[in-house]
Structure formats: C-alpha cells, structure tokens
A and B are shown apart, each in its own frame.
Chain A
C-alpha cells in the first residue's frame, strides 16, 4: 500500500501512509488509539475507500471496492469484535455464502457430507482438534470463535490475514495456540498483519514493525532492531501542539471516594480504588478495553456493581440508576454522543432541560403545575450564549448541529443540573480544534468553581495538559495514578499496557 490518505469530516485519519508486507512474515502495526491503524486496515480490506494512494498485490495494482473483492484478492480480516452467526453450527459459519452443493437440474442441494469433511480437514490442518463441525457457534468461547475465523480465512485461501487485537479476549494458553497457528501459516507463505498494543507479543512474533502516529507513518523497522522503550517512544514522540487554557486551580478536600469497586460483569473492572478532590481534574487513561467507560458508567448507576462503596462528601451513598446519581450531584457526559447522548429529532431546548426536569420536575413548573415554556427557553438561551452554541434557533433539532455544538448542548444539559461531580467520557472526541479549546475552558471554569471533574480520554496531550492527576487502567485494573505535572506520555503508555500486573 502506497501513499494512502483518508479523510473523515473534520479529521484527516491517514496522511500518505505506506506499508509493504512480505509474504511469509508477521508484520506488526502499532500506534496509539486513533493513530489510524484500523482505518488503514479497513482500506486494505475494502471497507473504506482511500481518497488517495495505491494498493498493489503481487506487484499488480488493485481497487478494493468491497470486502468481497478484497477476499477474492486473497486478503482477509479478523475483526476485534467477532460477529459469528450464533444460531448456526461451526461448518455453516465457515462456509456461509458458498456452501458446497450437488446439483439436480436447477436445484442446488447443500452437500452436508462434503461440508463436514472439508471442515474437519481444515481444522485438522490447523491442529484444532477439540471442535466438532456440528457444534453450534453459540456454545463456543470467544477464543474458539476467533480460531474458527482464522480457519475461515485459510479456507478462502487468504494470502494476507489481518488480525486486529486478536489476543485481547484470549487467555495465555489460548494465545499460545494462536501463536502456533500463526507460525504454521507464515511457514506456508501467508503474510500476517498483526495489530496489537502488547509490546511483548509484538517483539516475540513480528518480523517487521510499522508505527503510525496521528495518521502519519513514523517508520518501519525490523523487529530485531527494536525494544519496548523504542517502540513506546516512537508511538508517542510528538510535540505538544494543542493549547490549553491557563490553570488557576485551588484543590480542596477529597469529595468523591470510590472504594473496592468490582463490576458485576466478571470480564470488567475489579477492585478499583480512587478519589477525586474538589477543584481537581482527574484524568483516566488507558487503551481500548481498559474498562474505563464501564467503571464510570457503574459509578453513575447505569451498570450493576458486585461490591464496593461510593462516598460523596464523606457520606456513603447508594446509586442504583441515573436518577440516584443525578440527585447525588453527579453528571455523566457519555462517550457515545449519538447512542446515549442526544435526542436527535428533539430541539435544543428539550435536549438541554431533560436532565434537570428528571431531577427536579417542579423547577420548570408554573404555579398551576403546567410547564413554563418561557423559563425553559430562557435558561436554554443562557447556556447557548454562555457556551457559544452555534444554532439557528432553539427550535432546531439537535441532529442538525455540528458534533462540537451537540457536545456543548449536552454539557449545558448537565451544567443545568448543578452537579458537584462531572464525569466526562472522551469529551472532545470527534470535534474540531476550536470547539475543543472551548470545552477545555469550560472544564477549567468548572473546577475553579470547586467542582470535581473526571475526564476519560485517549488523547495523551489532553490528559497531560488538563489533569491534576491521571489514573491509568489496563484490562479492568487500576495500574497507577500519576501526577499531572510530572507525568509523561511514556509513563502513561507503560501503565496502560502493563497487562500482567
């Protein structure tokens, strides 16, 4: 792939990135969240179409319109999130869309026998002996599904297999099985593009390592010339270009205390302890799958808790749902703005007042119990001006606003509930630089008023530039809390990928 560029509205996801993968090798692709790894691979698999650049296979230039074409060209991809057809069995999943058949006139009868035999042979070839082709997919573990996905790629005769974080949901023993299969495949001449955050794995498996940063190519090195520190340095080694508002914080007493927090979901976070002080921004760093969102949604009462306590202002409180959280002075700006934030077709006013109305219905009532439209509009207008939301009128459906302006409306929604603790999950994701600065300024104002802010972010400069302390998580565990003044990107990265602690 040469000079691949891809832009999304407002973001240049890839800028003239080139990568050359040799057959029979494992080529690792590394970078921070948002560096462009997945985008590049989606271009290689025909899911995205690059704006510029050329893709060559065996020296021949190809255009990959869709995944079907990519598979015909021998490229196959194993996604982070697998989507098997759970109600069907193993062999149907492997041969879906191209069942072997016998023909009687115009009727194609599915040849179950051949399908079974082919599946068996395929699995034997990969040394997967403990799965029967008739097993229903729903009964299998995630790791088995992953192995079958690889088997499926092999059955297509894939020459290049892209694996996106294949070990993220595997145990050590299962990972070993995967590594064994990878070495078999490379020995047979298949190329593997391997995306992972786990540095030890990369150093062990990869022949070559390509590193991306902010959509640009940092470089490509033989794995033998690299070590863990070098990789981390090259992944994060950028200058701090983002500007942050000046800080003038007075940090007060501990206000929110989270003790021994363990999720009811066993694959999520365990035994997390932290506190937030008044007037402080606590950053939460980590990679995809670190369970940061899950932790904060549990604090907010959206997910069930197995054990642990929440204290606010020294008093233990019980939070079973969002209403409890809001009445206890907590606000949560969710990560998925479209899915759990906005009411797309409702107007700015409705989107702004909804949480306040749930908290204190009487607030917007007139004496006769009916809604006071004037007050609702006035309070909304105040925030629209205060946060400089760009909208034609208050009656505009929020879906018609830009991402940054939607985010400001959501911030207004929460500020209207006068919270003491604001949890902001990726507050600047997908919004432009100008709006980012405005949101930082707003956060600064909030902490200067003595409020607590917890900010989940995958952007290192944001964590370092805005936070007084940064807690870092890795796979559901809190791996460390760093001082915002002295922390470095390398320290965060190391804590975020310290899988075995």
Chain B
C-alpha cells in the first residue's frame, strides 16, 4: 500500500471539481456582498434545479449502463407541449383540442410519462437490437422528436404559437407549495430517493452497474443485457416525460423549443457528479449535487451581472475538466 500522500491525491482527484465550484460560489457570494446566500435565492435555485434533476436522473440510468442518450432535451420539449395541450381551459380562445373536456391533472402527467417510456423503448431497441451506436441512435431520435413536436404544435388554430390558457390546477403542480416548499422540489427529491433505492437496494439496479461495468461479463453471468438496456432507456424516457410536463406547469406555457440542450446539461451534471462516461460508476448523491452546482453557477453568474453567455464558457470548461479527470481516474493500467 502507498503512503498517505497517495490518498490526498486520490481525494483531490475525486473531489477537485467540487472544490473548484465551491471556490466559484464563494467568489460570487463575495462579489454580491453576501446577498447571493439569501433564502430566496436558494429557493429559486432549487426550483430551477428540480426539472433538471429529473432529466439528469433519467440520463444517469443510461450512462450507468454504459450507453449515451441525446434525446432527453427534445423529449422534455415534446412532453411539455403535449401535456400543455391536454391541460388548457375550456374558455381559451385558441384551445388546441377544442372538443376536449377539462381533464384531471393526472391525465397530462401520465400521458407525458407514458410517451417518454415509449420513446425510451424505441431508443433502447435501436441501440440494443439494431446495434446503432447509442450516440448516433439517440441523435436521430432527438431530431425526429423535434420534428414531430414542431409539426404537432403547428396544428391550426395554434399555428406554432406558445401554448396559453393552461389550467390553474395544472400550473399549481409547478408553482404550488406545501409549507413553503414547492411541489416540484418535493417531486425531485422524492424521485432522487426512489432512484437511489432502486440502484442500491434492488437486484435490477445492481445489474445496471454490471452491464455498464462490463457488458460481456454481464452476458456470461446470465444477465439479459438487452432487457437491461431497454429498461434503462425506458426509465430515462419516463423521467424526461415527467420533467417536460412539470416544465410546462412551472412556466405556464410551452413551445417546441422547450428543453433545448437539457440533455447536454444532464450529461455534464452526471459526469461532474462522478459518473464514469464509460458506464458502471456513479450514483444519485453525486448527480444531484452536480445538477444543483451547475444551477448555482448559472444563477450566480447572472446574479453578479455577468452576461449569461459566460455560463456557457464556464460550463464548457468544467465539462472538459471533468472528463479529463474521469479518464485518469479510471485509467486501467495494463
């Protein structure tokens, strides 16, 4: 065994991004003379993070299984638009489906989730059965989803306008709260806890790690790799669907541009949160923190008056650093 300095290096290797980000947060807090650390700001950040947490949780399943999924953002967009069109007031002048009665809130939510599952199953099938590399398969699906969504929202009388007249009961999902804590924060936290249990306490969760860790060995060990791949994409889809629906509820509107590039932020959060890009390594606590920290940076840079475009520069640098460290961390010495 090596001496103690080795452990320090390993610790830095594992946590250097957190260290850097904490430094950034402290800097922002300092520049804003402490105002950044107020409760209101924190709640705003958590609010914004909620939807992102859901997308990242979904994406994490796919990354853990050793695959990639670029369809997340556009799936969020599709689910936002579809759930919006199912949750409009009867009195709204250009109601998308004029004949449709007011549906209970649960209907658009369930439709969004099921739609996500269906798209996820397609993704999984294309990757596992047609053996299209995941990156390209889901890139194709991403384009199809955007196309389909744009065609759908263009239907008369809506003609591609942002959806309006969303039911208050549906909007409450996104903005309502219990004891000052928004529903969406509760949904995100509960989802994270459930996923954590699934991954650490359920056989299938362990099998996802096994498939991501070494698909060939998983096959030899009797795991149905095809089934696991389908399931991971389906779960991812369910989360994208839920996220899309909540995005519509939170903002009280939807357009086909919703969800743009959410998948990239989700992937970045997973990697920064300790998932290995090669699969088989990672977990909920890291990913959750990854999302929150990204949003802190987003919000923080705007808060101190920097152009929001700087976010992209900073995020890009962080992603590159994260992968560069990831590659070294899991370097298998031959």
A residues near B (Cβ < 8 Å) are: 300, 302, 321-323, 325-327, 332, 334, 339-346, 350, 353-355, 357-359, 361, 364-365, 369-371, 373, 392, 399, 413
Contacts and interface: CB of A to CB of B under 8 A. Distances in A.
B219 A357 contact: no
A350 B203 contact: no
Contacts of B1: 392
B216 A340 contact: yes
Interface in B216-262: 216-224
B202 A413 contact: no
A240 B277 CA distance: 49
The 9 closest A-B pairs by CB, nearest first: A358-B222, A343-B213, A370-B201, A326-B222, A355-B221, A323-B222, A340-B216, A361-B203, A322-B222
A379 B197 CA distance: 22
Nearest to B204: A361
Contacts of B216: 339-340
Contacts of A350: 206, 209-210
B112 interface: no
Find the residue from A345, A361, A365, A399 having the highest chain B CB count within 10 A: A345
Given A339-B216, A345-B280, A399-B332, A359 B222 contact: yes
B229 to A, nearest CB: 15
B14 to A, nearest CB: 13
B168 interface: no
B211 to A, nearest CB: 9
B210 A340 contact: no
Contacts of A327: 222
Contacts, number: 86
- Interface size bucket, B side? 20 to 34
Contact of B217 (A321, A342, A353): A342
Contacts of A357: 203, 206-207
21 contacts: A323-B224, A326-B222, A340-B220, A341-B220, A343-B210, A343-B214, A345-B280, A346-B280, A350-B206, A350-B210, A354-B207, A354-B210, A355-B222, A358-B207, A358-B223, A359-B222, A370-B202, A371-B200, A371-B203, A371-B206, A373-B201
Contacts of A361: 203
B217 to A, nearest CB: 5
B306 to A, nearest CB: 38
Nearest to A332: B220
Find the residue from A302, A325, A357, A392 having the highest chain B CB count within 10 A: A357
Contact of B213 (A302, A345, A371): A345
B213 A322 contact: no
A343 B280 contact: yes
B281 interface: yes
A412 to B, nearest CB: 13
Nearest to A366: B201
A428 B184 CA distance: 56
B30 interface: no
Contacts of B214: 340, 342-344
B10 to A, nearest CB: 12
B276 A345 contact: yes
Given A339-B216, A355-B221, A364-B203, 7 more contacts: A323-B223, A340-B219, A343-B217, A345-B280, A346-B280, A359-B222, A371-B201
B330 interface: yes
B227 to A, nearest CB: 10
B98 to A, nearest CB: 46
A326 B213 CA distance: 21
A410 to B, nearest CB: 9
Contacts of A392: 1
B209 A334 contact: no
A365 B203 contact: yes
Contact of A344 (B213, B219, B220, B222): B213
A346 B148 CA distance: 41
Contacts of A364: 203
Contacts of A343: 209-210, 213-214, 217-218, 280
Contacts of A373: 201
A367 B144 CA distance: 44
Contacts of A353: 206
Nearest to B213: A343
A417 B181 CA distance: 48
Contact of A358 (B200, B221, B276, B281): B221
Contacts of B207: 354, 357-358
A370 B276 CA distance: 26
Contacts of A325: 222
Contact of A302 (B201, B206, B220, B276): B220
B194 to A, nearest CB: 12
A224 to B, nearest CB: 44
B218 A354 contact: yes
Find the residue from B200, B210, B221, B330 having the highest chain A CB count within 10 A: B221
A340 B222 CA distance: 12
